[in-house]
Structure 1
Amino acid sequence: MSSDEPLKRGRVNDEMLPSFPDERHPNTLPVGDVKVAVAGWIGSTNLGDELIAQAVCRQLVNLGADPLAITIDPERTAALLGVASVEHHRVWDTPRLVGTLRSVDGVVFGGGGLIQDETGPLNLPFHLGRLALGRLLNQPWAGVGLGVGNVSRRSGRQMVRRVMTGARAITVRDPASQDRLRQLGIDSVLAADPVVAWNGVEGTQGTDEVIAVSVRRPNVPGQRTLSTAPPLDGAWMANMSRTIDAVASSLGLAVRFVAFEAEQDGELHRQLAQRIGAECQLVEPNADTVLAAVGSARAVFTMRYHGALAALIHGRPAVLVDYSPKMADLAADLDGAMPALPVGVPDAGLAVQAMDRAVSRADDLPEHLERLVARESENAAALERLVSPASR
């Protein structure tokens, strides 16, 4: 549906948008002399994590290295990245992972929010376990573009201190992550999320008269995994739909729901859209089109970190919903140019005020983007220290 076609008020339109700029690099990357395993959250249905994997693999290729993705879905990774991969999702995948790690020349840990236990107690052991295997095999490693959230469990803090030592370099994506990692006894260099400077991002073709909305389930204390969290509270759904409706109405815009993780967000977006009076689209893009799906909107309301980055890259005013420390961390890093709202009980009045502030600060976004892009170069420097012959 193009921006000049009418949307049906108070109803959900399920048609996918027909075209956004293709932001994807060619799906076959040249092979370098140094093979590097990339240990992130790769192969998931979360488009933000897939964008990070694309950006990190491209940086490695630019340095003459041959990336090998550690993935939970080799077929998805082959189609998206065009690089070799090894599956590591369950315990019985570990022997094959060990064999693969013996054959590489180094390990990249990251990027993204791997250092946290907000999403469940299994998150840290899963991600740090991969790095620990690489260290046991005496593989050099670097951490790149890491987000560090809350590590509330003592066992998790001990694991970070034990495993994240001896790095060639560690970079983090924001000052708050750097502070939290320092409190855990690990030094790092301040960089930015790898996606913010990825040259696969293209400009949008005009601006659509919609507000891009990306809502996800909030993290629930005590949950083991997000997928096993209890059903959403009806009061939360009512408040969130009222809030989205109020912000859209204040701007005179229709609503484009953009799912960064269709399996988690799609039905949630559908239920929210059925509750609001604004004109609605439901969009489930892929990694090629998601940044443009957000960036072509006139404004953004997001619980997704890379929804905020898409807004920043394209200079769109945005309100961030602080379901996780990383959203408030990004808002602080942007000096409040993208205000953060608490997720607990969404408030329509506060959200409208926050969007008004975001619109008034939109002219500040290009300067913030330039600053983060310059800072992001530290990721490439860290990777170069890992793969350069002088460091081996």
Structure 2
Amino acid sequence: MTEIQAVLCGYYGKGNGGDEALLIAMLEMLPPTVKPLVLSANPRATSKSYGVKSCDRMNSGSVLRALKESQVLILGGGSLIQDATSMRNSIYYGGLIGLARQFGLQTIAIAQGIGPLNQPLTRWIAKRAFENCTALSVRDPASAALLAQWGISSEIAPDPVWSLGATPVPEIANISSPKIALTLRSHPQLTNQRLDAVTQALVDLQAATGGHVLLVPFQPTTDMDIAEQIRAELTDNSQVVTLSDPKQLKGLFQGVDLAIGMRYHSLIMAAAEGCKCWAIGYDPKVSKLMTEIDIPGWELADIPTDPGVITQAWKQHLETGTALSAKSRQSLHQKSLAHQDLLATAISKIQG
């Protein structure tokens, strides 16, 4: 079969463990006859880490050359078209799809989490972008429902990170239990008062359980300050853990007893590895995940102000809560491979 080149775009090269995990999953899902070219914020690091061609996602000349040299554009997972943070994401990815179509490329969107789309302009951009896709899959029913309102069909399957392999981290595996992992990220609603309450609750939980606390900055450039701030309040039975390999990041959760997470993919990784999870919902995608796989937790704005209430909830879940069953984990793993099947079918049609 004829070899083709595909441009992969997403939130790649930003040092975000979840998005890097999506990139690895996308690369592993590509048929062997597809040569990837990844648009990245750090193309040198992306090329070195994954052995692929890469170019600067914000260099217009490089992006145009990449599109002209390729036959297909793939939006590779995540909440790419949304305006929760700004309208720039929707404009960038919508514009990229428009350019690709002008150059005659087929466009495929895989494992999308669509929205929030609060502005009329971003809703228009999203509708136009997804109408032009040759094949389209989403990772949650709400995204599929939004597309259906626009008369656009899509396939629903769990996030590809459910099926990503995990590499054990021996130095973490050998730590005595209970092990408690925390992944927080900066957010306007994570005020000093709320962060102080969470920190004190974690201090009290550690004292009550003798637990070893792992502070995991999924995107060190934005999460490290919070992790180090909390670490300073804990005993020596704690550490900040930074891992650049997404498979190791997933493997970190093997043997962790309780994972408390804001980061969407930290919760998926932890749940996939059999951890008890507690979510802090800062974004609709986290809230949807809490509902879909029955993860307890709070919306960020609703975190109790009393650290004692937080500690008690975490302690009770650690002692009596349940993790996702092995059967459910296997089902989610298997169902997530539907993205790969969709991609293979679409690519085979493009190759003729």
**With structure 2 as the length reference, what TM-score do the two structures score?**
0.89
The aligned length equals: 343
State the 1:111 CA deviation: 0.6
State the 1:160 CA deviation: 0.6
State the 1:360 CA deviation: 4.4
Q: Is 1:99 equivalent to 2:58 in the alignment?
A: no
Kept after mapping to 1: 8 A contact 2:271/2:324? no
| Partners of 2:34 and 2:311 in 1: CA distance | 45
Partner of 1:33: 3
Partner of 1:376: 336
Please, which moves more after superposition, 262-271 or 127-136?
127-136
| Partners of 1:135 and 1:77 in 2: CA distance | 26
Partner of 1:118: 84
Partner of 1:50: 20
> C-alpha root-mean-square deviation of aligned residues, in Å?
2.4
Instruction: Find 2:263's aligned residue among 286, 304, 307.
Output: 304
Q: What are the equivalent positions in structure 2 for 1:1-392 lying under 5 Å apart?
A: 33-60=3-30, 62-89=31-58, 93-183=59-149, 185-198=151-164, 200-202=165-167, 206=173, 208=175, 209=177, 210-218=179-187, 233-249=191-207, 251-276=209-234, 279-288=237-246, 289-334=248-293, 336=294, 338-347=295-304, 348=307, 349-350=309-310, 352-353=312-313, 356-357=316-317, 360=320, 362=322, 364-389=324-349, 392=352
| Paired amino acid for 1:369 | R
Distance change >3 Å, CA 157–CA 115, structure 1 → 2: same
Q: Which runs of 5+ in 2 are unaligned?
A: none
Distance change >3 Å, CA 155–CA 390, structure 1 → 2: closer
State the 1:315 CA deviation: 0.3
| Paired amino acid for 2:56 | E
State the 1:36 CA deviation: 0.9
State the 1:106 CA deviation: 0.8
State the 1:110 CA deviation: 2.1
| Paired amino acid for 1:325 | P
Work out the percentage of aligned pairs sharing the same amino acid. 22
| Partners of 2:14 and 2:121 in 1: CA distance | 26
| Partners of 1:358 and 1:174 in 2: CA distance | 28
| Paired amino acid for 1:268 | I
State the 1:389 CA deviation: 4.6
| Paired amino acid for 2:54 | S
State the 1:217 CA deviation: 1.0
Distance change >3 Å, CA 361–CA 182, structure 1 → 2: farther
Look up the SS of the partner of 2:75 in the other structure: strand
| Partners of 1:364 and 1:86 in 2: CA distance | 39
| Partners of 1:310 and 1:186 in 2: CA distance | 30
Distance change >3 Å, CA 351–CA 308, structure 1 → 2: farther
State the 1:265 CA deviation: 0.8
State the 1:45 CA deviation: 1.2
| Partners of 1:380 and 1:285 in 2: CA distance | 26
State the 1:244 CA deviation: 2.7
Please, which moves more after superposition, 173-182 or 208-217?
173-182
| Paired amino acid for 2:194 | W
Look up the SS of the partner of 1:98 in the other structure: helix
| Partners of 1:320 and 1:293 in 2: CA distance | 18
| Partners of 2:199 and 2:166 in 1: CA distance | 31
| Partners of 2:217 and 2:263 in 1: CA distance | 9
Kept after mapping to 2: 8 A contact 1:157/1:184? no
1:242-282 superposed Cα distances (whole Å, 9 cap, x missing partner):
23334445544121101111111111111122234683211
Specify which structure has the bigger relative contact order, considering alpha-carbon pairs within 8 angstroms and separated by 6 or more residues: 1
